[in-house]
Amino acid sequence: MKFDRTFRTVIVLFIILVILISSYFVQDIISKNNVASVEETDLSLTGAKLSDSTYAKMVVSGTWDSAVGVANQFDFTIFNADKYDLANWTISIQVPAGSVLDNYWGSEAELDKSTGLLVIKPTSYNNTILSDGNITFGIIVSAKEAFSPTSLHLQGYKILNNNTSLARRIVEVFIGIWAIVFIGFLVTRLNFRNYREKQKNDIKIILQSMNTFINFIDAKDPYTRGHSKRVAMYAAEIAKRMRLPEDDIQNIYYAGLLHDAGKISVPDAVLNKPGVLTKEERTMIQNHTVAGGKMLVQLSSLKGVRETALYHHERYDGSGYPDGLKGEMIPLFARIVGVADAYDAMSSNRVYRRHLNKDEIIEEIQKGAGTQFDPRIVTYMVDMINDGYVNVVKMETADNDESYGKFNLTEEDIPGVYMGF
């Protein structure tokens, strides 16, 4: 399966999105189910740690006589300087056999008399110690004598704290926006692809219709076979180099293809006459512009095609035909096709002369700048000759140009003037 670059990029971005979302959930699941427990057995009871920032401390805050013997008060503090909240925590201490739980506060406590383990659990008020928080609570245990617990254990679940996870919020928002944009992009792209497919098909139909019509023109004037296609390609390239909009480039290509449509109305004998033309014959040939304009009047949906057929023989100085339009009055497409048409006529063999060579063509075109041609367009055409673009076009259209190279005229046969119609 072949994918274009944009589609590959979308796939890569999609995979990254999946990884991001998965890692987000995995992190969440891990953080919520992480049971961290560290047992501290140091008799100094400096603290039991879950981590460097989450730990418990215990102090013996007093002893006094009781009915059993000695009452021992122990106060506990759990510090949570972590970025996580601490949930479902328990603290447990080992107490001597025979101890009695006298009192407790700030928590719930349960003494297992068989093991001597006193487990202190959170109450409903403080079952979660928030990030950067701490709680204090205490118990009184009566025993035969004063004692210090031999071990202190702290257990709990670390869970992510919403207040401290600004970065996570940002990631959530980012992922949300990204997902919306991504889905939007996918939908748009899918629609755009369908649209492009349809557009491609439409263009194919237009081109096939045009080529069929061009075959009629070529059948009448076999010496210029391939001319329309080459002119279309030169004109489109000029438009591209002039940075005209994409639609204009497309339309100028159609305009180039059909610029000589009116030739179909010119009698074959006149069109292919090798000798000097009479005034009437010249008028008949020149009339292909007006005829083309009339024939293409129905093709109004393709911008500039009719005007190009009508005005591609106007001259920049106003001495052209059919209307003697001058300068910018001549539609841009017609000015561009005019230059492309002239180049192709000069570089192809005609019934009345052989093609000119590269230097002669450049000289002729430059001579015509400002008189026959729009000077700005001339510079693009000359560039295309010099950088070899025109040769690429000739190679691409070689199959259509069956007459190319069939002439064996000598240099002397070159009339020296361009006689494009």
Residue numbers at the binding site for Fe ion (CB under 5 A)? 260
Residue nearer to Fe ion on the CB measure, 153 or 227: 227
Residue nearer to Fe ion on the CB measure, 141 or 255: 255
Shortest distance in whole angstroms from residue 312 CB to Fe ion: 6
Shortest distance in whole angstroms from residue 237 CB to Fe ion: 19
Shortest distance in whole angstroms from residue 235 CB to Fe ion: 13
Residue nearer to Fe ion on the CB measure, 72 or 228: 228
Q: Which two tokens stand for residue 255?
A: 């305009």
Shortest distance in whole angstroms from residue 268 CB to Fe ion: 16
- Amino acid found at 225: R
Residue nearer to Fe ion on the CB measure, 260 or 314: 260
- What is the arrangement of strands in the sheet containing 54-65, beginning at the earlier edge strand? 48-51, 54-65, 70-80, 133-143, 100-105
Closest to 121 (Cα-Cα) out of 108, 102, 103: 108
Q: How far is CA 357 from its chain centroid?
A: 45
Residue nearer to Fe ion on the CB measure, 224 or 400: 224
Burial readout 184-197 (b: 16 or more C-beta within 10 A, e: otherwise): eeeeeeeeeeeeee
Q: What is the DSSP letter of 131?
A: T
Q: Using alpha carbons only, what angle is made at residue 401 by residues 395 and 403, rounded to the nearest 5 degrees?
A: 130
List residues bridging with 111 in a β-sheet: 118
Residue nearer to Fe ion on the CB measure, 289 or 397: 289
My answer on whether omega of the bond before 274 falls inside 30° of 0, hence cis, is no
Q: Is 42 helix (H, G, I), strand (E, B) or coil?
A: coil
Shortest distance in whole angstroms from residue 232 CB to Fe ion: 13
Residue nearer to Fe ion on the CB measure, 85 or 260: 260
Shortest distance in whole angstroms from residue 271 CB to Fe ion: 11
Residue at shortest CB range from Fe ion: 260
CA dist 253 and 305 (Å) reads: 9
Q: What is the DSSP letter of 128?
A: E
Shortest distance in whole angstroms from residue 200 CB to Fe ion: 30
CA dist 351 and 108 (Å) reads: 112
